[in-house]
Amino acid sequence: MSTCKITKSFVDKLVLPEKGQVFYRDSELKGFAVRVTTGGSKAFVLEKRINRKLKRITLGRYPEITVEMARKEALKYLGEIATGIDPIAKRQQAQAEMMTLWQVWQDYRKIKCYLKDNTYVQYEMYLNGELKDWKQKRLVDISKDMISTRHGKLLQSHSPSYANTAMRVLSAIYKFAKNQYEDNNGLSLFPHNPVERLGQMKAWAKEPRRQTIIKPKQLAPWYSSLQEMKFNTGRESHHVAADYMVFLLLTGLRKNEAATLTWSNVDLDEGTIHIPDTKNKVPLTLPLSDVLIAILNYRLQYKSNEYVFPSKKTGYLAYAQKALKYLNETSDIKFSFHDLRRTFITVAESLDISSYAIKRLVNHKNGSDVTEGYIINNHDRLRAPMQRITDFFKENCKINMDDYVSR
Give the Cα separation of 401 and 389 in Å (integer): 16
Give the Cα separation of 123 and 105 in Å (integer): 9
CATH topology of domain 2-85: Double Stranded RNA Binding Domain (3.30.160)
Tell me what pLDDT residue 153 has. 95
Least confident of 40-54, 145-159, 239-253: 40-54
The model carries a pTM of 0.60
Tell me what pLDDT residue 375 has. 44
**Most distant pair of Cα atoms in the chain: their distance:** 95
- Which of 30, 22, 35 is closest to 5 using CA atoms? 30
Superfamily holding 216-404: Intergrase catalytic core (1.10.443.10)
Q: CATH says 101-200 is which class?
A: mainly alpha
pLDDT exceeding 90 applies to what percent of the chain? 64
Tell me what pLDDT residue 52 has. 78
Give the Cα separation of 212 and 229 in Å (integer): 23
Question: In terms of pLDDT, which residue wins out, 360 or 365?
Answer: 360
Tell me what pLDDT residue 39 has. 87
pLDDT digits (tens, 9 = 90+) for 383-399: 999 999 999 999 999 99
Tell me what pLDDT residue 184 has. 63
pLDDT digits (tens, 9 = 90+) for 300-334: 999 999 999 999 888 999 888 899 999 999 998 99
Tell me what pLDDT residue 407 has. 61
pLDDT digits (tens, 9 = 90+) for 264-279: 999 999 999 999 988 8
φ, ψ (nearest 5 deg) of residue 266 = -115, 125
Q: Enumerate the CATH 3.30.160.390 domain ranges in the chain, comma separated.
A: 2-85
Tell me what pLDDT residue 241 has. 95
Asked if the model's pLDDT at residue 367 lies above 70, the reply is: no
Number of residues written out for the chain: 407
Asked if the model's pLDDT at residue 353 lies above 50, the reply is: yes
Asked if the model's pLDDT at residue 53 lies above 50, the reply is: yes
Tell me what pLDDT residue 100 has. 93
